[in-house]
Amino acid sequence: MRTSNLKNVGGHATYKDRCVLNKIELRKKEGCVRMLTTKPRGTNDLLPQELEKWHYVENIMREVATLYGYQEIRTPIFEHTELFQRGVGETTDIVEKEMYTFLDRGKRSLTLRPEATASTVRAFLENKLYADPLPVKLYYLGPMFRYDRPQAGRYRQFHQFGVEVFGSQSPSLDAEVIAMAMDIYERLGLHDLVVELNSVGCPQCRRAHKKVLQDYLQAKLADLCPTCQGRFEKNPLRILDCKNGRCQNLVAEAPKLEQMLCEECRRHFQLVQDYLQELQVPYTLNSCLVRGLDYYTKTAFEIVAQGIGAQSSIGGGGRYDRLIEECGGPSLPGIGYAMGIERILLTLEEQGIEFPLQTKGQIFIATLGEKAQKKGAKLAQELRKAGLMVERDYLERSLKAQLKAANRLQVSITVILGEEELAQGEAVVRDMQAGGQKEIPLQELVSYLVKKFRGGKQDE
Ligand code: AMP
């Protein structure tokens, strides 16, 4: 019952009305509690165990980026809405229906970044990085936001690693960027990936193709899905890329852009393929690959993983030779790609790829009694300063419980400091794997442990 249905609310609420009001209040409270204990739809908590895998994946990405000569850039999580409208494109799904846009307290329209290319271009221009020697090669890693329908592999907050190169139109760069993406996947151990490749030409070839495509689709317009009917006038090229089965059948025989590329775009496309062959990166041509962002010119590519369900694209990108100028900068070409970290992790899991075991801890310091606790705290600090991973007891547990905790942490060494050992100026060093233990004088303990972990062989 709604509060508006209550006749006597105000001065003379009946007992029944008061009960209903209490119920409404209770439900509101329950709703409120639920909001406090549930994350927003389409977002994920990344817990410590999961994050070990993230760090492993991110480290490989950073390492490879450095090997290929890229430097990191970090841009704001939110930007002026106009940047994405202009930079991503008014007719894209992202701008039309997926952006998290809000007014700040100063009534400015801001948007949580749905992707990072537009932001990187903005930062490149604002910071005049075009004055640096070209090409400028940047990489980024971080969260993106799209109001999409959540499902496995598709989230509202997700993470991308990506690169952008500004200032070169060499087709060899297009091939290298694709090879670099594949290098990352391969180092992670992923297999059965397909590089799908296409050229979406330049505005000149697109204009000619748009007309021919519209003529072809005119008679089929009523049979297209509502989204594609909307795309017919403004952006019919996107119809080729529709995931709806009926649309896919209708466009199977449609004139493809590939057949209408201008001389320059055709040459570029051929050279990209030649270089990919040179770099031994297998690829498949897909003349329906358009990708959802308006800014692409010439090369467009996507990397697809087999067997991870509907959300099978684990990365994609392309060339955008007009975007920098479109955003108010000099006429400079650009190319980039982005890969989804959540989808890479899903694929790793799907393909049964093991992550290298992380060291949980090297040393556990078990202490008994107040004096030993003080000594233990000091020792832990000295060992950490010497670069060793140390855990210790913070709960004043029994020795048995502390050893159990050390086992759970899978440390290799437990140092036991009891009143007795302290009195003798010694500590017990127990090898948790081999099982033996020995007494080491306290003043030699740090150098003994450092040597044990660093130098290895000094023992016995
Ligand atoms: P895009 O920026 O749309 O070209 O996407 C690049 C990559 O980001 C895709 O290949 C996916 O791996 C990933 N990605 C895009 N959208 C999502 C999403 N909503 N959830 C998770 N990953 C995504």
pLDDT tens-digit map of 273-301: 999 999 999 999 999 898 877 788 999 99
Residue type, 425: G
Q: With a 6 A CB cut-off, is 146 part of the ligand 1 pocket?
A: yes
Q: CA angle 152-155-156, nearest 5°?
A: 160
109 C-alpha to ligand 1 centroid (Å): 24
* Alpha carbon of residue 276 to chain centroid: 26
Residue 2 has pLDDT above 50, yes or no: no
Closest CA relative to residue 217, chosen from 256, 250, 168, 259: 250
385 C-alpha to ligand 1 centroid (Å): 41
Q: pLDDT-based confidence at 389, cuts 50/70/90?
A: very high
340 C-alpha to ligand 1 centroid (Å): 5
Distance CA 317, CA 230 (A): 24
| Mean pLDDT, rounded, for 17-37 | 79
Report pLDDT for 208. Answer: 87
**Residue extents of the structural domains in the chain:** 3-37, 48-202+262-350, 363-453
- Counting ligand 1 atoms within 8 A of each CB, the residue from 151, 200, 311 with the most, and so the one to mutate, is 311
Residue 8 has pLDDT above 70, yes or no: no
Closest CA relative to residue 284, chosen from 255, 308, 304: 304
What architecture is the 48-202+262-350 domain classified under in CATH?
2-Layer Sandwich (3.30)
Q: pLDDT-based confidence at 369, cuts 50/70/90?
A: very high
Report pLDDT for 357. Answer: 67
Q: pLDDT-based confidence at 348, cuts 50/70/90?
A: very high
pLDDT tens-digit map of 39-88: 999 999 999 989 999 999 999 999 999 999 999 999 999 999 999 999 99
CATH topology of domain 363-453: Rossmann fold (3.40.50)
338 C-alpha to ligand 1 centroid (Å): 8
Distance CA 138, CA 63 (A): 13
